[in-house]
Amino acid sequence: MNDDLYLEYLLQMGAMSPDEEKLARRQARVDALREKSMQTPTGEMVGKHYVAPSWTEYAAQLGNAFMANKAQGKVDQQYGEFNKTQGDAIRKLQERMAQRRAGNAVTPSAPIPEDDEEMRSRYGGWYSSGY
């Protein structure tokens, strides 16, 4: 695949890599846990008597809020790392495209740079360095 087309595809479609999908799933779990911690425990009517919620229900609500907050911190850190690596990969791709436009293209007989291996492992079959 042509690098120009690949970069255009990334920018227009906002392609989600497997790592990004995993982070989105983790974020959804954190959101569900946070939503669960926002629900106030309610009592029930048993016959003509009202039975108030147990103190353990309130403790569980606090525990859910704490765990959601802790998990959100980890997800934020992982998103930051992911965005940094993705930005680095796009910058490398842009640099390589600029070299090709300037006439400094890498010949097919040249060894494959290490960053190409990294990009192939990250993007699987979607990445082609043009060799």
68 vs 28: CA distance, rounded Å? 11
Cβ burial, residue 54 (10 Å; 0-12/13-18/19+): exposed
Q: Collapse the DSSP code of 37 into the 3-class scheme (helix H, G, I; strand E, B; otherwise coil) and give the result.
A: helix
For 54-71, write each residue's pLDDT tens digit: 999 999 999 999 999 999
Domain ranges of the chain: 16-97+113-124
Task: Say what the pLDDT of residue 123 is.
Answer: 58
Question: Any idea which residue has 């802790």 for tokens?
Answer: 70
For 83-120, write each residue's pLDDT tens digit: 888 788 778 877 877 887 777 655 444 444 555 566 55
Dihedral Cα 81, 65, 16, 115, nearest 10 deg: 20
pTM of the model: 0.56
